[in-house]
Amino acid sequence: MRIRSAEIIAVGSEMLTPHRTDTNSLFLAGRLNELGIELSAKAVVGDDQRLLTTLLRQSLERVDLVIITGGLGPTEDDVTREAVSDALGRPMSEDADVLASLEKRFADRGYVMPANNRKQAQVPRGAVVIANPNGSAPGLWLEEGSQAIVVLPGPPRELQPMFDYSVSPRLVATTAGTRWRRRVIKITGRAESQVDEVARDIYLALMKAPTPIQTTILATPGQIELHLAAVSADVAAVDAALADAVGRLATALAPFVFSVDGRNLEEVVGDLLRERGLRIAAAESCTAGLLLGRLTEVPGSSGWVVGGIVAYDDAVKIEQLGVPPGLLEAHGAVSEPVAVAMAEGVRSRLSADIGIGVTGIAGPDGGTETKPVGMVVIAMAGVSPSVRTLKFPGDRRMVRQFSTAAALDMVRRALVTP
């Protein structure tokens, strides 16, 4: 058996409502990807035995592997076992081992097994039962000629370990040992088009290299990611090719690359602050705590974050941060002198080594010709004092995210050794 292609069918009427999403297929897509198995389609179907039977038959006309999740419970509306039995024309019978382990599961908790759970011991002919250490519904592995059908329970905490411990090794045995390996380059302070312009020639060359490397570009406000992926049975060779590609791209895109090892921006900044023994405080107007929120997402951040002041109203800027009222009158709240005064004020009032001030116009209202929506001023005081006026695109949420990333990056750029 050689499994190259797969489809996923998620079963459960709740996932056809706005209240529940099929997340199992995201997990499974990631795992299949790592195994070098191409996921060509996925479907969500309600608790409908006939429809599931039809869908499974259709999938088996297209791919080597079909993974079905959910609908293995003990109730009437759990129809997956029956549909698989119908689609493959394999009658079901009670599996004595499954029944014994179900009864034991209930007995261990001091219950007698309800009669309807007996249904979960029904197994289509020829199926291998996959143990479920975290729930009552066992999974199934079935082979039909050169194809495989995998059936797993719906709850992610049951499905995930079953896939990793029981299904994955079976699939590895069919994939001739090929593996996808991945690296991610994280960039900030550049737009997607700017990254693409610099990187395009490099990734065109990488695609034609002896170990071809695929590159995908993903953008969120304030962060661009280049995902590099290559597949081979020779893991050492593919890792070396990826390391070389990461090196070439990171050199071309420096100094905007902040991570090639999976860390996010706040972790990189946290590590730099910790290494330097520096503590930071922030005065945030338009980001109103988002910067400190990100800084403190990192475990151990109490070691380098002192605290901050959300200085939205001018009165707070004056009273809590000591921004001179004359500065606000002369330049307005969104201005370089005010951002610098905010950074210095929060640094001295909170006795931090570094102070950051962020002030801007997040919109949609409040913009003027000279100070348009999206204009943000960020200042750093204490270490490497600096101030920058930036103009970000997008709506209020995006402007706030861009501003937070830019503030973090100002600290990173100041502390990173050249």
Name the segment binding ligand ATP (CB under 6 A); options: 15-23, 86-94, 273-281, 377-385.
15-23
Question: What angle in degrees, to the nearest 10, is found between the helix axes of 265-276 and 396-415?
Answer: 30
By CB under 6 A, residue 266 contacts ligand ATP = no
Instruction: Report d(CA 404, CA 360) in Å as an integer.
Output: 11
Residue 137 as a binder of ligand ATP (CB under 6 A): the answer is yes
Instruction: Give me the 149-168 binding string for ligand ATP, x by CB under 6 A, dash otherwise.
Output: ----xxxx------------
Q: Which of 64, 78, 86, 344 lies at the binding interface for ligand ATP (CB under 6 A)?
A: 78
Taking CB under 6 A as the rule, does residue 7 contact ligand ATP?
no
| Contact with ligand ATP (CB under 6 A) among 12, 124, 345, 355 | 12
**Locus of tokens 């261990």:** 108
Residue 22 binds to ligand ATP (criterion: CB under 6 A): yes
Measured N-to-C along each axis, helices 192-207 and 235-253 cross at an angle, to the nearest 10 degrees, of 140
Q: What are phi and psi of 143, to 5 degrees?
A: -120, 135
Segment lying near ligand ATP (by CB under 6 A), choices 7-15, 231-239, 268-276, 408-416 = 7-15
Least CB distance from residue 19 to ligand ATP, whole Å? 10
Tell whether residue 374 is a contact of ligand ATP (CB under 6 A). Answer: no
66 binds ligand ATP (CB under 6 A): no
* String of contacts with ligand ATP for each residue 189-228, x by CB under 6 A: ----------------------------------------
Chain residue at closest Cβ approach to ligand ATP: 154
Contact 183, 224 (CB under 8 A): no
Pick the closer one to ligand ATP by CB: 44 or 305: 44
345 in contact with ligand ATP (CB under 6 A): no
Q: Which of 3, 10, 162, 380 binds ligand ATP (CB under 6 A)?
A: 10
| Exposed / middle / buried, residue 170 (Cβ in 10 Å: 0-12, 13-18, 19+) | middle
Shortest Å, Cβ 132 to ligand ATP: 8
Of positions 59, 69, 223, 404, contacts ligand ATP by CB under 6 A: 69
Applying CB under 6 A, the span of 17-25, 56-64, 191-199, 266-274 interacting with ligand ATP comes to: 17-25
**Among 63, 67, 72, 376, which residue interacts with ligand ATP (rule: CB under 6 A)?**
72
Of 45 and 253, which CB lies nearer to ligand ATP in the complex structure?
A: 45
CB 97 → ligand ATP: shortest distance, Å? Answer: 18
Q: Closest approach of Cβ 20 to ligand ATP, in Å?
A: 6
CB under 6 A: which stretch of 12-20, 286-294, 381-389, 405-413 binds ligand ATP? 12-20
Total binding residues toward ligand ATP, as defined by CB under 6 A:
20
Nearer to ligand ATP by C-beta: 36 or 153?
153
Interacting residues toward ligand ATP by CB under 6 A = 10, 12, 14, 20, 22-24, 69-73, 78, 135-137, 153-156
